[in-house]
Amino acid sequence: MNGEPERRTGPVPKSVLARGLRLLDAFGSGDAELTLAQLAARTGLPKPTAHRLLGELVRWGGVERTAGGYRLSMRLFVLGQRAPRPRGLREAALPYLEDLYEATHENIHLAVLDGVDTLFLEKVTGRRAMPIVSRVGGRLPAYCTATGKLFLALGPADRLRQVLAAGLAHYTPRTIVMPGLLRRELDRTLERGYALNREESEAGVSAIAAPIIDADGGVTAAISITGSSRRLDLERLAPAVRTAARALSRELAR
């Protein structure tokens, strides 16, 4: 009936804390602000309960009231910045990302694997770069992104199995949706040492990515250059991304 995606994951938890946290989760990336009724519907909580818990979240400061709704507040942003895992990585990577941006003036991403998705931890962009959908904190399926292919190609075989089990969907006509073809593509990725995305996630958009490797030889992250298919000569950019990725890997391993 309504355009809202069904967000309910299992039954409503009985514990107050879990219910309150579910309210936070109910805010999707799409929605700037939500009404009480929407939040109650999404979380499955009775309206009075949602109302009471939201009141508490507002008092805490993580949520703020607006005329006719609720939205996540800056305080939550600040809290999130304290998380050590993305922070160290982002701060170490930033200089390298800036170098790549300056050299290419295209979109530069830092991403990690999260489940079966590539999750963008940082995005450096500018006026001259082609506008694309990705956002910091946003995600795309691993199988149709340059960074994601690295996690699949260089990671344990089980990862790919999970991705295939979850199913491959078309994002563009060029998205690789045949498991066999994807395997071939990942094999090539592995032997090349870098990954490509030729309009597989967004029409007209291509990318090249190189892996960040930890001391044990595992892929922990990836950096990519993304831009207009027409303008980008991916192969020509390979040395730059790979050099940056290798330098960052070395710095992180220290």
Partner DNA sequence: CCGCCCGTTTCGGTGAATGGAATCCCGCGC
Partner DNA sequence: GCGCGGGATTCCATTCACCGAAACGGGCGG
Residue 68 contact partner, candidates a second copy, DNA, none, CB within 5 to 8 A by sort of partner: DNA
Using the minimum distance from each CB to a second copy, give the nearer residue, 75 or 231. Answer: 75
Instruction: Give the chain's end-to-end CA distance (angstroms, integer).
Output: 54
- Annotate 182-208 with three-state secondary structure: HHHHHHHHHHHCCEEEECCCCCCEEEE
Sign of CA dihedral 184, 165, 161, 208: positive
Q: Which of 23, 26, 45, 111 binds DNA (CB under 7 A)?
A: 45
Q: How far is the CB of 188 from a second copy (least distance, A)?
A: 30
Two tokens at 18? 């879990």
Contact call for residue 17 and DNA (CB under 7 A): yes
Residue 101 contact partner, candidates DNA, a second copy, none, CB within 5 to 8 A by sort of partner: a second copy
Q: Which parts of 82-156 fold into alpha helices (H)?
A: 84-104, 146-154
Alpha-carbon distance of 152 to 189, in angstroms, equals 10
Q: How far is the CB of 119 from a second copy (least distance, A)?
A: 7
* Tokens 């303008």, located at residue: 231
Alpha-carbon distance of 80 to 92, in angstroms, equals 18
Instruction: Single out the segment in contact with a second copy by CB under 8 A; choices: 89-97, 142-150, 177-185, 226-234.
Output: 89-97
Size of residue set near a second copy by CB under 8 A: 55
Alpha-carbon distance of 73 to 165, in angstroms, equals 37
What is the contact surface with a second copy in residues (CB under 8 A)? Answer: 15-21, 24-25, 27-29, 32-33, 53, 56-57, 59-60, 62, 71-74, 76-87, 91, 94-95, 98-99, 101-102, 112, 114, 119, 121, 124-127, 135-138
What is the contact surface with DNA in residues (CB under 7 A)? Answer: 14-17, 19, 35-37, 40, 45-49, 51-53, 68-69
